[in-house]
């Protein structure tokens, strides 16, 4: 069903406390019910009012009664032809742990001691999401929204500041409608990058979309923070290629771009997830790619005093041909740090080698290092799938393996000197499984101003740096690994952006501070708000105050509304 048919109208009376719902066409095959208050509707309204009266006299702290009450409310406010009860998983349900674990991607936040939701709701259509917002407000139940589970601090499925809470998992909202004629696609929030890339590939070999290399990312949350990938220098961020969107707002209404207005449309394209509404659909613009692209990986050992090549990469990578993207991975191999220069060129190998001989001969790229392939196979290459893996693997959605990890980020605006690089190498050697990833900007990114979207780290940014520590010991040595990455991040401070020191909201870092329960303050939130959004933070706060003054959509680092 095309998302233009997902509109639902709500009629609310504060005096009678009722809602009449136009049924959602994608949830059932029967004719839409009339918005008029028929005899049947009146009986529903009376039942609903009695239900509210009854619920006001009982406690909802017990998860069983909470679930039962929520289910009744969902049934009254969304399509009832599908058994909503089967979409809810409580801790007593044998599938609860597997459902939570399959969606959450950081095992550090899935350990038994981590806070767990009272239940998980997995809506199958947009009206279910609307109903979840309506019902959570009615009962004062805090909700978290999950589209892919890759949030580094797990705020989409763990709450340290709200109890009780529930999780609305969009995993079953995965429709993708690609329209080659208009070079666009509507993508449901629960679909993954990989599924989107595959659906584009099914229709065309000369189109793509410039989002992340991780194919199991949920597209809904991914784009809300910015979304960069191997075509960032050619086409910018994912948010720079969004045409329209559909969200559920704090009043349970589905709004498209026209209905929400340009301020809110601006805010959701880079302002981070979980602050302004529940993202249901993105309408994205497909970008042209050539039939043949070229990928390569050149490995170099980062030995003491061998940082000249890495320094040179910083000087040239942001200024190369816009069709060329070369990132650098730092990985530990036994007692050595290896730099992998990992590249995509939107063109053939012959032209690539010619460009590299002129612009970056220090890397020594030769024709034998290059693999000519299709764009969809370059997606598989960067995602780390073995050679020969069929593109259909992208439809699996979730990653095969997951681990425990902690991440941080930086934006670099001037090359880091060799002495600084040597200190970075030494610190990587003392951690068990470190990973640092440098991805160049420049090109198209330099053509945007800081205020074009909430994502401000544009012109003048040489590259984004991601730091990760992985471990497998569970809760055993968490402090050791987290202390290491904090120390590394502190060490890098003199070499990266400052005033403010920028960080990427999609690599969320709760070390910067968190909101308090029912006490989100502008001053408190500024500590991370300016790092993620620079001066755009103030505009985000104003929009939040306008569209969600009651702070329905909140989490540890959500945008706060100003006091009314």
Catalytic residue list: 507
Concatenating the DSSP letter of every residue in 317-370 gives: GGGS-TTEEEEEEEEEETTEEEEEEEEEESS-HHHHHHHHHHH-GGG---GGGE
Cα separation, 549 vs 560, whole angstroms: 9
Q: Cα 355 from chain centroid?
A: 34
Concatenating the DSSP letter of every residue in 234-281 gives: HH--GGGGEEEEEEE-TTS-EE-HHHHHHHHHHHHTTS-SSSS-EEEE
Cα separation, 192 vs 195, whole angstroms: 5
Helix pair angle (418-429, 478-492), 10° resolution:
180
What are the angstrom distances between the C-alpha of 522 and each of 173, 487, 543, 553, 557?
34, 28, 13, 16, 11
Beta-carbon count within 10 A of 2 CB: 12
> Coil, strand, or helix at residue 402?
coil
> Coil, strand, or helix at residue 311?
helix
Contact 395, 198 (CB under 8 A): yes
Q: Which residue spans within 129-277 are E strands per DSSP? A: 142-146, 165-169, 176-179, 184-188, 207-208, 242-248, 254-255
Cα separation, 34 vs 271, whole angstroms: 38
Q: Cα 120 from chain centroid?
A: 19
Beta-carbon count within 10 A of 508 CB: 26
């Amino acid at each position: 069903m095309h998302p233009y048919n997902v509109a639902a109208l709500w009629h609310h009376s504060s005096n009678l406390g009722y809602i009449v719902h136009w049924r959602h066409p994608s949830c059932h095959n029967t004719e839409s019910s009339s918005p008029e208050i028929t005899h049947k509707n009146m009986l529903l309204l009376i039942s609903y009012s009695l239900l509210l009266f009854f619920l006001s006299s009982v406690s909802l702290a017990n998860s069983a009664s909470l679930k039962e009450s929520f289910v009744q409310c969902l049934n009254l406010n969304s399509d009832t032809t599908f058994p909503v009860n089967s979409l809810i998983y409580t801790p007593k349900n044998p599938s609860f742990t597997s459902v939570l674990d399959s969606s959450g991607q950081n095992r550090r936040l899935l350990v038994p001691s981590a806070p767990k939701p009272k239940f998980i709701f997995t809506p199958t259509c947009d009206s279910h999401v609307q109903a979840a917002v309506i019902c959570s407000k009615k009962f004062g139940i805090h909700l978290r929204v999950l589209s892919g589970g890759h949030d580094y601090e797990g705020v989409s499925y763990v709450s340290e500041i709200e109890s009780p809470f529930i999780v609305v998992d969009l995993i079953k909202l995965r429709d993708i409608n690609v329209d080659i004629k208009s070079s666009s696609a509507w993508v449901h929030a629960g679909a993954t990058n990989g599924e989107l890339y595959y659906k584009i590939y099914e229709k065309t070999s000369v189109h793509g979309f410039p989002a992340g290399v991780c194919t199991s990312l949920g597209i809904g949350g991914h784009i809300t923070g910015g979304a960069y990938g191997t075509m960032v220098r050619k086409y910018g961020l994912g948010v720079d290629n969004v045409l329209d969107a559909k969200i559920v707002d704090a009043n349970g209404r589905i709004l498209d771009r026209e209905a929400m207005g340009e301020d809110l449309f601006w805010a959701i394209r880079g302002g981070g997830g979980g602050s302004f509404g529940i993202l249901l659909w993105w309408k994205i613009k497909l970008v042209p790619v050539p039939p043949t692209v070229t990928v390569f990986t050149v490995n170099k050992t980062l030995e003491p005093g061998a940082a000249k090549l890495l320094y040179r990469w910083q000087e040239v990578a942001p200024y190369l041909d816009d069709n060329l993207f070369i990132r650098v991975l730092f990985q530990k191999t036994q007692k050595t740090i290896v730099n992998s220069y990992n590249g995509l060129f939107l063109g053939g190998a012959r032209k690539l080698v010619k460009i590299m001989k002129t612009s970056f001969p220090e890397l020594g790229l030769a024709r034998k290092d290059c693999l000519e392939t299709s764009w969809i196979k370059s997606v598989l290459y960067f995602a780390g799938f073995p050679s020969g893996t069929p593109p259909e693997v992208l439809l699996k959605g979730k990653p095969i393996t997951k681990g425990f990890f902690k991440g941080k980020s930086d934006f670099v605006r001037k090359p880091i000197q060799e002495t600084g690089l040597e200190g970075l190498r030494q610190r990587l050697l003392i951690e068990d499984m470190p990973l640092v990833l440098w991805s160049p900007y420049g090109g198209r990114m330099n053509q945007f101003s800081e205020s074009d979207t909430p994502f401000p780290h544009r012109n003048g940014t040489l590259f984004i740096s991601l730091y990760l520590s992985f471990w497998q010991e569970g809760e055993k040595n968490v402090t050791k690994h987290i202390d290491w990455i904090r120390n590394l991040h502190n060490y890098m401070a003199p070499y990266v952006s400052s005033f403010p020191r920028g960080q990427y909201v999609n690599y969320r870092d709760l070390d910067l501070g968190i909101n308090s329960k029912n006490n989100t303050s502008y001053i408190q939130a500024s500590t991370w708000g300016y790092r993620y959004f620079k001066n755009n933070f103030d505009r985000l706060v104003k929009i939040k105050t306008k569209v969600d003054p009651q702070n329905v959509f909140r989490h540890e680092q959500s945008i706060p509304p100003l006091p009314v």
